[in-house]
Copies of this chain bind each other. A is one copy, B any other.
Amino acid sequence: MSRPPSEAGTWVVLSGGSGGVKLAVGLARLLGERLSIIVNTGDDFTHLGLSISPDLDTVLYALAGILNEETGWGRNGETWTFMRALGELGEPTWFKLGDGDLATHVDRTWRLRAGARLTQIGAHQATALGVRARILPMSDDPVRTVVATDGGPLSFQEYFVRYGCRPVVRATRFEGAAAAQPTREVIDALSAPDLAGIILGPSNPWLSVDPILAVPGIRDLMRTSGAPIVAVSPIIGGQAVKGPTAKIMAELGLEPDSRTIAQHYADLIHGFVMDSADQALKEEIRLDAVVTNTMMRSLDDKVALAQQCMTFCRRLSEQRLVGLRASP
């Protein structure tokens, strides 16, 4: 695929582990090292003594071209000998750790214990795997997403993996967020003089993007950056492309459609990107909105949506909509 002409400046995308990753892949293809991906770490947890960062891993593998595209997590060409041996030792096997995937966790775990920051470790791993875009944990401090369910509070991985998103969600909270700090690298990315746009990727707002926005300072940095901020809806025709977003929205008493997503981000964003399937809802969204194909099946789809988001940001900048909003 020839590389389309890219927009100037630096860019930021906020991502969880599913739709946001696909968009990040498209943006990275266009922008290379001019892209910073601020990644949710609310799903991080310690399992069998290993420090696991599911969303960082998925972003890393996707950008390195080694993501298992079928599952949407883990590495392609993976083997599972470790899990079999672990089961033979009577250890819990509900969280699947592929043999190659383990290298990422073992590397992260010992480097964290040796005093490295999560950000540094991610940069080291990204460089080793040939990734040019900057993969930035939202914070080096621990933030843990807790899902309040009918059956009591669950850690994200328990909710998501162990119980397969079956419990009914009543609320989410982000433990540690109030005390967490954005990293120097996140601050720099959001404060860059040439920052051309900030994109909220089509990840689950309640479980993947809100933890990032819950880190004190990140919302303010976004608002004062002067850059246009657009969000891409993870809901298409009332359904999540992947994962429990629509189910959770219904459980939280929200209408599971693009309109609700736009409302959720309304105080932060300047523009909204929604799928052609939701054309009928466009008039109800009180934001500048672009209607396009947001279903990213191929690399071409990812690059095309990335290009649309960038073009949209450029137009918002030119229309000085950002300036109007920045001076209330």
Hey, which bits of chain A sit against chain B, CB under 8 A? 48-50, 75, 77-79, 81-86, 88-91, 98-104, 106-107, 109-110, 113, 124-125, 128-129
Contact = CB atoms under 8 A, between A and B. Distances in A.
Given A78-B81, A82-B102, A91-B107, 5 more contacts: A84-B100, A86-B106, A86-B107, A90-B124, A91-B103
Contacts of A106: 48-50, 82, 86, 102
Contact of A85 (B49, B86, B91, B102): B102
16 contacts: A48-B106, A48-B110, A49-B106, A49-B113, A78-B81, A79-B79, A81-B81, A81-B98, A81-B99, A82-B100, A85-B101, A85-B103, A86-B106, A88-B129, A89-B124, A91-B107
Contact of A90 (B82, B83, B102, B128): B128
Nearest to A125: B89
The 9 nearest A-B residue pairs measured at CB: A49-B110, A85-B103, A81-B99, A85-B100, A99-B99, A86-B103, A79-B81, A81-B100, A90-B128
A84 B77 CA distance: 12
A85 B107 CA distance: 10
Nearest to A112: B49
Contacts of A81: 77-79, 81, 98-100
Contacts of A77: 81
Copy number in the complex reads 2
A89 B102 contact: no
B89 A103 contact: yes
A295 to B, nearest CB: 31
A309 to B, nearest CB: 31
A98 B85 CA distance: 11
A221 to B, nearest CB: 31
A162 to B, nearest CB: 18
Contacts of A48: 106-107, 110
Nearest to A107: B89
A104 B91 CA distance: 10
Contact of A99 (B82, B89, B110, B128): B82
A89 B49 contact: no
A88 B127 CA distance: 10
Nearest to A97: B106
A66 to B, nearest CB: 9
Contacts of A107: 48, 86, 89, 91
Contact of A128 (B75, B88, B98, B113): B88
Nearest to A106: B48
Contacts of A104: 85, 89
A326 to B, nearest CB: 42
B50 A89 contact: no
A174 to B, nearest CB: 26
Contacts of A110: 48-50
Contacts of A82: 82, 99-100, 102-103, 106
Contacts of A50: 106, 110
A96 to B, nearest CB: 13
